[in-house]
Amino acid sequence: MTKYVYRFGGGVNDGEVAGIGGDKNLLGGKGANLDGMAAIGLPVPPGFTITTEMCTRYYADGETYPESLNAEVAAGIAHIEGVTGKRFGNAADPLLVSVRSGARVSMPGMMDTVLNLGLNDETVEGLAATSGDARFAWDSYRRFIQMYSDVVLGLDHAAFEEALEVAKEDAGFTLDTEMSANDWQALVAEYKALVQKQWGKPFPQDVHEQLWGAIGAVFGSWQAERAKVYRRLNGIPGDWGTAVNVQAMVFGNMGETSATGVAFTRDPATGENAYYGEYLINAQGEDVVAGIRTPQYLTKAARERAGAKPLSMEEAMPETYAELARVFQILETHYRDMQDIEFTVQQGKLWMLQTRSGKRTAKAALKIAVDMATEGLISEEEAVARVDPAALDQLLHPTLDPKAPRDVLTKGLPASPGAASGQIVFDAENAERLNELGEAVILVRIETSPEDIHGMHAAKGILTARGGMTSHAAVVARGMGRPCVSGAGGIAIDMEAQLLKVGGRALKAGDIITIDGGTGEVMAGEVPTVQPELAGDFGTLMIWADKVRRLKVRANAETPLDCKTAREFGAEGVGLCRTEHMFFDAARITAVRQMILAETEKGRREALAKLLPEQRADFTAIFIEMAGLPVTIRLLDPPLHEFLPHGDGEFAEVAEAAGVSIELLKRRAAELHEFNPMLGHRGCRLGVTYPEIYEMQARAIFEAAIAVAEQSGEAPIPEVMIPLVATKRELELMKAVVDAAAQAVFADKGRTIDYLVGTMIELPRAALMAGEIAEVGAFFSFGTNDLTQTTIGISRDDAGRFLTSYVDKGIFARDPFVSLDVEGVGQLIQLAAERGRATRPDVKLGICGEHGGDPASIDFCEKTGLDYVSASPYRVPIARLAAAQAALAARSK
């Protein structure tokens, strides 16, 4: 017969005896830790836990209990009676209990706790007599009726609150504490009348009926709408179930020597190793959190820092406080983590009601992990495993000063973290112009496109009205480390009037706004920020992470500044240098357009000759920053039409540079139009049709590499990457172009350098044919953005419109452009890695694209045995930590 009830407290610990004392899966988080605390001798009121298994069975059996549960619950009550010497339902000396829900993970949405269960018209008199405090007894009874009616009977609690308000008003009181025993007793009568009226039955007087009602309500709350919503949002399976905890009441509301409080063993905001908490004298349960009275500080130091008058617990109850501090130490040592604790003091005696690992800010998580490892409480590896890599994101960017006031205009998506303030500008040109004048600007667009890149670079932050988390603005901003709020649907942009309209207000170009890319908030005016701290704890944790990491971490970077940032963040090379961004530069775009629109090879070569010195300068600057490290340069990739001129003015500029007519150019531009550019004339298809483009780029790479080698004595290691290859032959042709350029430059300069030619694997065919492709390519870089797009057949530029529903409906667990679709796309990567290695055992394997900075995807890369991941510069530390965690996880298998 399955055991469903586990007792704890008073020297009995069924969970410990059964060896499942700490098992949150069976006892729920609260139950497991109540059991755990009782087992190590801490003062825990006795009680019992009905397991989560019972909850699951309850639903499987059509919301009924097995026969055996009655006896088990009765034995549980008998246990509590034995320890406390009180009897459940006994009129002379009644036992009161709390009934508390407790799933595996803390879950708002579950039933609220019912306190003081076991009170009725008779037992309330007994409680008054044994406590010698009638006021306390009637206060407890009215609390019980109110809570029970609300959470178990589901009655309208506003009516109860109103009755209390009216009672106080009639008596001329403002505080609950002014109410006398008689006042409470009168209110109880009113409450009972309210129950009769709303529920149609009298308030249950039978304590067993009360108990089973509460147990049923806890199990019932597992399938409540709000609990389901919470589970869906947090990926909690529906079959976990909740446990029920029934526990002897202890009373924090028995006068001035009683209190209730919550505490953290370290500061959950800063991580500082100092107790942190609040308490209330003569109060019960959730009074502290409910804000009925202003709680007092736990420690003297915190009270003094806040300049508050009411005594801290340390001062008001020094002995109990010392006992509590001792318990904090024991709990931290036992659970080896910062604890979030609930306690009650009944007439000077301390009781522990809950402990769990405390939630904390990213900053605190980092500090606590490093401190605990330094203190010897946990190992360095555990410290590495404990910090959520994604949370580091918050720490690597300036953040809003939490103390500063905010005038929030609206909220969009938190697309790229960090906070920034600046003048509103509505176009990239103005952003660049004002930036050159030393002004801070926020670029505000309906949405952004590749042409806005220079403006995004010039801006301190980006705000868009449309577009999701993987929109152009979001992806590019993350890559650049610019804060970005995207999809702020609450704003309207009037380009003509140069106005930003939001919630009935209108802001002009030049007005200052602040955006917080970590929360999505958009605020009027400047909100001060605080700078990130990269040395200290952060640096220490990174060193520990690097000790266990196997995967190398590179950066996606295409400017010297990006490279510098990436190196400071610990990048071990460039995994993806996209050359097209260089083409958008204002000084070059005309030559680029001339090249694209040329009708002959000769025309193209003329334009390319103008670009060669510019490209060489780009690569030289990058190689200098990345001296001694590998740099993967991807030759031109995007559809040519992205570079086309727009207005007449731009056509005229190109016409003049090329010495041809505007009409001719316009005709040529029309010819370049494509129906489906993503699958069109792009990637190596450009190099196949116009080899001179790749030839120029390769030449620029080798000339730059040799120049840097000669200057610095440290040769860079260029890895020339051919994009969008589907066949071995394409790569062969392109490799021949690159090799010929290399030979020509080497002959010219009289020296050689090492280099590699490889390809991106971003088409399913390339993955399938990887064995053959590896005969030519020395490395593969998985271009998972395009590989996801081409494998699933979802356009990433259009996915925003429907992908959210796909995630909501569970078709994809997460946006496959953010976190790699390991199941599907992952198979192609595994297969390509295997086939590539079978042909060429030392083929270098890496991943570039958004996934290179996503911890779950990095874990997959570790499992697949890739050599490196490449992430945007600001995500390099995240990738280093995630790679270390992946290595630890692999090792523990």
Interface region with ligand ADP, contact rule CB under 6 A, candidates 77-85, 244-252, 328-336, 795-803 = 244-252
Annotated catalytic residue, options 55, 484, 563, 848: 848
**The two structure tokens encoding residue 64:** 């009924």
Which helix (H) or strand (E) segment holds residue 343: the answer is strand 339-346
Binding of Mg ion by 221 (CB under 5 A)? no
Strand partners, 351: 344
Annotated catalytic residue 472: yes
Please select the residue that binds ligand ADP; options are 33, 51, 113, 790, rule is CB under 6 A.
Answer: 113
Nearer to ligand ADP, 286 or 429 (CB): 286
Rounded to a whole number of angstroms, the minimum distance from the CB of residue 176 to ligand ADP is: 16
Closest CA to 285 of 259, 311, 317, 321: 259
> How far apart are alpha carbons 291 and 102 in whole angstroms?
23
Residues 99-118 that bind Mg ion (CB under 5 A): 112
**DSSP tag of 112:** P
Interface region with ligand ADP, contact rule CB under 6 A, candidates 6-14, 119-127, 241-249, 526-534 = 241-249
Helix axis angle, 181-199 relative to 157-171, nearest 10°? Answer: 150
Closest CA to 633 of 729, 763, 757: 757
Residues 279-298 that bind ligand ADP (CB under 6 A): 285-286
Rounded to a whole number of angstroms, the minimum distance from the CB of residue 247 to ligand ADP is: 4
Nearer to Mg ion, 33 or 872 (CB): 33
Annotated catalytic residue, options 79, 397, 454, 472: 472
HEC readout, 483-546: CEEECCCCEEEECCCCEEEECCEEEECCCEEEEECCCCEEEECCCCEECCCCCHHHHHHHHHHH
Residues 536-595 that bind ligand ADP (CB under 6 A): none
Binding of ligand ADP by 242 (CB under 6 A)? no
* One-letter identity of residue 787: L
Question: If you count them, how many residues does the chain have?
Answer: 893
Interface region with ligand ADP, contact rule CB under 6 A, candidates 232-240, 243-251, 602-610, 646-654 = 243-251
Interface region with Mg ion, contact rule CB under 5 A, candidates 299-307, 342-350, 479-487, 670-678 = 342-350
CA angle (11 as vertex; 9, 15 as ends), nearest 5: 65
Count the site residues for Mg ion by CB under 5 A: 3
Rounded to a whole number of angstroms, the minimum distance from the CB of residue 103 to ligand ADP is: 10
Rounded to a whole number of angstroms, the minimum distance from the CB of residue 76 to ligand ADP is: 14
Nearer to Mg ion, 55 or 715 (CB): 55
**What are φ and ψ of residue 218, in 5° steps?**
-65, -50
Annotated catalytic residue 454: no
Binding of ligand ADP by 867 (CB under 6 A)? no
**What are φ and ψ of residue 283, in 5° steps?**
-145, 165
Rounded to a whole number of angstroms, the minimum distance from the CB of residue 211 to ligand ADP is: 14
> How far apart are alpha carbons 816 and 645 in whole angstroms?
33
Residues 42-61 that bind ligand ADP (CB under 6 A): 45
* One-letter identity of residue 85: G
Nearer to ligand ADP, 247 or 870 (CB): 247
Residues 345-364 that bind Mg ion (CB under 5 A): 354
* Contact call for residues 457 and 408 (beta carbons, < 8 A): no
Nearer to ligand ADP, 283 or 502 (CB): 283
Interface region with ligand ADP, contact rule CB under 6 A, candidates 242-250, 556-564, 571-579, 751-759 = 242-250
Binding of ligand ADP by 146 (CB under 6 A)? no
Torsion sign across C-alpha atoms 140, 145, 147, 152: positive
Rounded to a whole number of angstroms, the minimum distance from the CB of residue 285 to ligand ADP is: 4
Nearer to ligand ADP, 210 or 410 (CB): 210
* Contact call for residues 597 and 668 (beta carbons, < 8 A): yes
Binding of ligand ADP by 344 (CB under 6 A)? yes
Residues 83-102 that bind ligand ADP (CB under 6 A): 98, 100
What does the longest C-alpha to C-alpha distance in the chain come to? 107
Displacement of CA 822 from its chain's centroid (Å): 20
Rounded to a whole number of angstroms, the minimum distance from the CB of residue 287 to Mg ion is: 13
Binding of ligand ADP by 118 (CB under 6 A)? no
Question: Which of Mg ion, ligand ADP, none sits in contact with 789, Cβ below 5 to 8 A by type?
Answer: none
Tell me if residue 430 falls in helix, strand or coil.
helix
Q: Side by side, which strands form the sheet with 242-248?
A: 12-13, 5-9, 47-50, 242-248, 97-103, 114-117
Tell me if residue 268 falls in helix, strand or coil.
coil
**The two structure tokens encoding residue 514:** 């602040």
Q: Which residues are catalytic?
A: 472, 848
List residues near ligand ADP by CB under 6 A. 45, 98, 100, 113, 115, 247-250, 260, 285-286, 342, 344, 353-354
